[in-house]
Structure 1
Amino acid sequence: MSATPPPAWRVVWWFGFVSLAADMVYEGARSVYGPLLAALGASAVVVGLVTGAGEAVALVARLAFGPLADRTGRYWSLTIAGYGLTAVCVPLLAVAPRLGAAGLAFATTMILLERLGKAVRSPSKSALLAHVASGVGRGRGFGVHKALDQVGAFAGPLVVAAVVAVASLWWGMAVLAVPGAAAMLLLLTLRRRVPDPSVYDDTPPSPERPGPAPRSGWWAQAVGAGLPAVFFRYALAASLTTGGLVTFGIIGYHLVTEGLVPVASVPLVYAGAMAVEALAALGVGLAYDRTGPQVLLVVPVLVALVPALALGPALAAVLVGVVAWGFAQGVQDSTVKAVVADLVEPARRATAYGVFAGVQGLLAIIGGVGAGWLYERSLVALVVAVALTQVVALVLLADTLRRSARLRRAG
């Protein structure tokens, strides 16, 4: 390790390049999960269940891995292990059609394991990035990281689309082994160059040395004992938008089963959504640093619009709905996290990110299954159900942000 750490902005970009390569892998795969599962015999309910459960695993399991990171201080180890699961499991989807009747079960397992990798790494990675981003402005730091992340999320589906067009859906999964290997190489290099990102923060313990053992037990930590009440109100408000946002698996399934686009075009639609997500993350991140968290009030509005547009019969309206989906997704996965870092002290951030994601995950699986069930029965009922949840989310989010602002002024 050199005596002088690299500039904070450079490290933010390095973290972004790791995410760029990794996102090529799992976002490339996610772009075709709907058609992929349908090709293995899945119905819309099964697609909603698998994709919703995948998001739930990626979120709920952080209840365990957030406190584990804070207790052990092994932020880097957990980050590397999580990325490793993604790099391995996604390319293995290529063998699913060769397994006959077991193909759907195998693909489901690989999807869930890949999402488990997201849960393993995300609290630790977010805690590491929060240290570094404090040196550049957390809204901008998380926003720039998310924008780079989304470059990979844009490129991955394009690669998959090209391979599907000239070969097959399954070869599209196999080629994702290449960016997976690149992500692991970049991550290991970053770990060697910057073993202690806490040097960029004002009040950190070293991320590789655990702090004093907490008085409460592991379960109490996992459910957020001692975290501020305003954090839990915020987690519930944000999670209602997560549960209400229909998964792209359902949107992709709709595009193919309704004959709106061929299978090879679904990743192109997803790539467009990823481009919107990148711009949203960057723009809202900058606005967050300038105007505060009130910019997040746009998210419930966008989430409410998605099913009415993206699950309709007209391709033009569907594409507008996909834009709304990408914008909402971009804010949910970037600037929303910056608020958590502002509400919770550094020593509890990984735990807070785990709890936050756990609440999101519980609502994600309910939303995923519910969306798939309602999609097969009544699109009107689905639109109304999402709209009602987002009214609640908007009211709760606005109230929570007001309470948070009063606490900051009082402090």
Structure 2
Amino acid sequence: MSSAWRFVLAIGLVSLLADFTYEGGRGISGAFLGTLGATSLLVGAVSGVGEFLGYAVRLLSGQLGEGRRAWPLLYLGYSLNLLALPALAWVGSPYAASLLLFLERLGKGLRTPVRDALLARVGKEVGLGRAFGVHELMDQGGAFLGPLFVALAVAQGGYRLGFAALLVPALLALFLLWRVRGLEPEDPSRSVREPLPRTFFLYLAFALLFALGFAHFQILAFHLERSGAPPAGISLLFALAMGTDALLALLGGLAFERVGFKTLFLVPLLAALATPLVLMGRGPWAWALGCALWGGALGLQESVMRAGVGYLSQGSAWAYGLFDGAFGFAWLLGSLLMGYLCALSPAHAAWAALALEPLALLSLVPLARRGVG
């Protein structure tokens, strides 16, 4: 096995355990906030502001995440990302819980550009789509198993036991991260701040429009809890979303090697269908289909969209930081909008998604016509 594939699989195993932890907890966090007395607007603000903080800090970590500073950022980021969610088991107010959710997103933001830049560099040897597709498959394998694990814990002892049980995989992920160091590829001998091509900013416009209409799962979970879905059922629906995420991530990554950015036409299409099915659907079958489509859109976003950044920037941590920071700001605005509209009526939020995602689809057409990818 080549050194490049060893790194992809090693960091993928860390990501599997990490996603087992934080996706397992995040799948019930919106509903948990509701039990603490949070309103739908607060849930939307927590998800939106939290995502924004997590994405905005990537502007900084993208600039700092080269050379000797890469691993300290990875250690700090993963520690915050993984230990904040088990701590939710001991909080008693929606505001303390919100703070921990902010720290979790902040930690993910610190470590993601560094990890993605390393993956993009090894992707030059094994194929960008393959590297990110396989990584996301392992990543979402943990994201699928984590909610199932949490669903069992919640069924036995409620939300607090579900969060507390996540401490074990969190500590195991941090131990394995320490063992992975040394497998990473050497830094390329180039400037980190190379000029980005015009197509990068065209690509960024597509991503921002997609983010504006992509409802955060915390908002969907809040709605499901208000609609009578049992706590364990919400976690199972999130597990379904993560399973679809893993499958579409791998298939999308392989497709990227053949057709490039045309693969991304599916992303806004799936998102446009998912939100109305969850927010306006009646019964578990509509919710399940909506969550599966939501997971598919996320899987393509997490694999193909990340591979596209690497293709356009030659694996620059700075490019990943810039892309993620802008994406997070758009998702903040979108989450606030969705939270506000959902408070008025779930149908309002569903129609907003149906209006915004086709705009993202249209914005991708010029990029595809240029033959990029």
C-alpha distance after superposition, 1:186-237 (max 9, x if no partner): 1111104x1x4138xxxx23xxxxx66x8xxxxxx7xxx8322211111121
Task: Return closer, same or farther for 1:133/1:226 CA change in 2, 3 Å cut-off.
Answer: closer
Is 1:198 matched with 2:198? no
The Cα offsets for residues 41-72 of structure 1, whole Å up to 9 and x where unpaired, read as 101111111112121122122111101214x6
Give TM-score, length-normalised by structure 1: 0.87
Structure 1 SS opposite 2:344: coil
Q: Which residue of 1 aligns with 2:157?
A: 167
Percent identity between matched residues is 40
Runs of 5+ in structure 2 lacking a partner?
none
Q: CA deviation at 1:152?
A: 0.5
Kindly indicate whether residue 179 of structure 2 is the aligned counterpart of residue 189 of structure 1: yes
- Residue of structure 2 equivalent to 1:384: 351
**CA shift for structure 1 position 73:** 4.6
State the alpha-carbon separation in 2 of the partners of residues 292 and 231 from structure 1: 14
The answer for the alignment partner of 2:195 in structure 1 is: 226
Task: Kindly indicate whether the alpha-carbon contact (under 8 Å) linking 2:210 and 2:360 is maintained by their aligned counterparts in 1.
Answer: yes
Equivalent AA in structure 1 for residue 303 of structure 2: S
Indicate the SS of the match to 2:126.
coil
Q: Structure 2 CA distance, aligned partners of 1:119 and 1:130?
A: 17
Residue 87 of structure 1 pairs with residue 82 of structure 2? yes
How far off is 1:39 after superposition?
1.1
Q: Distance in 2 between matches of 1:299 and 1:366?
A: 19
Does the CA contact (< 8 Å) of 2:240 and 2:288 recur in 1? Answer: no
Residue identity in the other structure for 1:230: T
Conserved? CA contact 2:278–2:286, under 8 Å: yes
Root-mean-square deviation (Å): 1.8
Correspondence for 1:217? none
Give distance in 2, aligned partners of 1:59 and 1:342.
Answer: 20
The question of whether the paired residues in 2 share the 8 Å contact of 1:56 and 1:365 is answered with yes
One-letter amino acid of the structure 2 residue matched with residue 41 of structure 1: G
- Among candidates 177, 192, 199, match of residue 167 of structure 2: 177
1:60-139 → structure 2 map (5 Å cutoff): 60-70=56-66, 73-97=68-92, 103-139=93-129
The one-letter code of the counterpart of 2:250 is: L
Name 1:355's counterpart in structure 2: 322
| CA offsets 1:320-373 (integer angstroms, 9 cap, x no match) | 111110000001111101011111134xx1110011011111111111111111
SS of residue matched to 2:85? helix
Q: Deviations over 1:255-279 (max 9, x none)?
A: 11111x2112211110011000000
Q: Which amino acid aligns with 1:139?
A: G
1:221-254, CA deviations, whole angstroms, 9 ceiling, x for partnerless residues? Answer: 7xxx832221111112112212211111111111
CA apart distance, 1:174: 1.0
What TM-score comes out, normalization by structure 2 length?
0.95
Q: Distance in 2 between matches of 1:18 and 1:310?
A: 31
Please say if residues 338 and 349 of structure 2, whose CA atoms lie closer than 8 Å, have aligned partners that are also in contact: yes
Match for residue 338 of structure 2?
Answer: 371
Paired with 2:31 and 2:345, the residues of 1 have a C-alpha distance of 21
Greater displacement, 286-295 / 144-153: 286-295
- In structure 2, give the amino acid aligned to 1:331: L
CA deviation after TM superposition for structure 1 residue 404, in Å: 5.6
Pairing 1:252-263 to 2, within 5 Å after superposition: 252-259=221-228, 261-263=229-231
SS at 1:318's partner residue?
helix
How many residues align? The count is 372
Distance of 1:293 and 1:314 partners within structure 2 = 35
Q: Output the CA distance in 1 between the equivalents of 2:161 and 2:214.
A: 30
Q: 2:252 aligns with which of 279, 284, 300?
A: 284
AA partner of residue 337 (structure 1)? R
Q: Which residue of 2 aligns with 1:24?
A: 20
Residue among 50, 54, 77 paired with 1:54? 50
Instruction: Name the counterpart of 1:344.
Output: 313
**C-alpha distance in 2 between matches for 1:138 and 1:174:** 37
Map of 2:211 onto structure 1: 242
Select 2:297's aligned residue among 311, 328, 332.
328
Contact 2:52–2:332 (Cα < 8 Å) also in 1? yes
Post-superposition offset of 1:133: 2.3
Residue 226 of structure 1 aligns to a residue in which SS?
coil
Q: Name the aligned partner's letter for residue 20 of structure 1.
A: L
3-state SS of 2:294 partner? helix
Distance in 2 between residues matched to 1:6 and 1:382, nearest whole Å: 47
Q: Which has the larger radius of gyration?
A: 1
Q: Which residue of 1 aligns with 2:30?
A: 34
CA apart distance, 1:283: 0.5
Residue pair 2:263, 2:304 contacting (<8 A) in 1 also: no
Letter in 2 for 1:298: L
* Match in the other structure for 1:100: none
